[in-house]
Amino acid sequence: MAAMTSSISELRLVIDYQRENAATRTLTLDIVDYPGEWLLDLPLLDKTYEQWSAESLMLSRQGPRAKLAAGWHAQLATLDPLAHEDEQATLKAARLFTDYLRTCRDERFAMSLLPPGRFLMPGNLAGSPALTFAPLDVPNGAEAPEHSLWAMMQRRFEAYKDVVVRPFFRDHFARLDRQIVLVDALAAFNAGPEALHDLESALGGILDCFRTGRATWLSSLVRPRIDRILFAATKADHLHHLSHDRLEAILRRMVERAAHRAEMAGAAVDVVALAAVRATREAQVQRGRETLPSIIGIPAAGETANGDTFDGKMEVATFPGDLPANLDELFAGQHSFHGLSTKAGHDADFRFLKFRPPFLEKDDAGTPALPHIRLDRALQFLIGDRLT
């Protein structure tokens, strides 16, 4: 959900600005960029292996996930948690479980609840025992026998938390006092109501992990709190601006319960539809007697629409449609878009083309610049108070 990168990157940003009737001042910001999957790992810190296994198995047996997990489930049925630990069986279970998670993340299904995150982005931990475990159907209320397959999986789950999750929380996440979460709501919308509910649950779980509250000078020294959280619906340039308010409303609906708790603790929460780099421009296209609000851009090479495959060079105009005004119908799966019902899985109707970044434009001073949508509003919310 957040910016997808292969590893954490940190940037110290220094901004010089001039207050009215005052000398130039300097604002220094430490910016941490990390994959959204790492955020989804934070709830694991409060869970046992048994709890995580039960939740993962329950999810994998519901909706479109059940079909995607068929291969993993077939092998799972052959495993006895009480049997002696077996490295080869564990390796196979971890591989099949990872394949299931990877398929769930495919744009056809766009599932969001996919911990452990490093299974999909292993980096330098590929092949490590800390990434070699999977859920098991374990007996309720029992304890793992020593040297059992269950005990082996349990040890590796705890090792994952110690090696991956806790260092991320301690070294990076716990130091933050402002947070922006980038959310590809359009991908979930394309995949259907199951994906929307999955994303809603994922965002709620993430917000529950935030240490929110009104920041004070003491909290900044002892235990920083996140006092501003911005949820940003990305790819706003894939829609006409007439639908931007509705895109924000969809995302606001997804986070409203958890956001209310954060606001009660003193944190400020906002939602915005944005595009950090605007890849399209808007136009009015005449179709018969209708005038359609459309977008114009260059689809990425290999993108297809209406039987045409684009070469990454030709500019096209497309009517992206209108997002629904009735959110209850959308989340219940009753809304039709372009005349087609939203459905999950292989029958999903993928409507949003991927566009190439635009050519560099120049501002009034002749400096190359990339167009954006509401990036200024995002910065105003996140750091505007530090500039006054």
Q: pLDDT tens digits for 43-75?
A: 899 899 999 999 999 999 998 999 999 999 999
- pLDDT at res. 202: 87
Q: Which of 290, 189, 161, 173 is CA-nearest to residue 224? A: 173
Q: CA-CA-CA-CA torsion for 356, 337, 103, 106, nearest 10 degrees?
A: 10
Residues 236 and 378 in one domain: yes
Who's near 212: CB < 8 A, 6+ residues apart?
Answer: 225, 226, 227, 229, 261, 262, 265, 266, 267
Residues 242 and 383 in one domain: yes
Q: Stretch 192-218: mean pLDDT, rounded?
A: 73
- pLDDT at res. 101: 95
Q: Which helix (H) or strand (E) is 44 found in, with range?
A: none
Residue 220 predicted with pLDDT over 80: no
Instruction: Check if the beta carbon of residue 292 is closer than 8 Å to that of residue 319.
Output: yes
Residue 223 predicted with pLDDT over 70: no
Return mean pLDDT, the chain: 82
Q: Is residue 14 part of a domain?
A: no
Tens digits of residue pLDDT in 87-99: 999 999 999 999 9
Q: Is residue 32 part of a domain?
A: no
Residues 56 and 78 in one domain: yes
Locate 124 and state its tokens. Answer: 């330098």
Residues 246 and 120 in one domain: no
- pLDDT at res. 338: 43
Q: Is residue 223 part of a domain?
A: yes
Residues 182 and 263 in one domain: yes
Q: Is residue 273 part of a domain?
A: yes
Confidence of residue 343 (pLDDT cuts 50, 70, 90): very low
Tens digits of residue pLDDT in 117-128: 999 988 888 888
Confidence of residue 366 (pLDDT cuts 50, 70, 90): confident
Enclosing domain of residue 335: 281-369
Q: Domain total for the chain?
A: 3
Instruction: Check if the beta carbon of residue 386 is closer than 8 Å to that of residue 234.
Output: no
Instruction: Check if the beta carbon of residue 302 is closer than 8 Å to that of residue 356.
Output: no
Residues 382 and 235 in one domain: yes
Who's near 238: CB < 8 A, 6+ residues apart?
Answer: 186, 280, 295, 320, 352, 353, 355
| Per-residue CA distances from 11 to 31, 172, 245, 323 (Å) | 5, 12, 32, 36
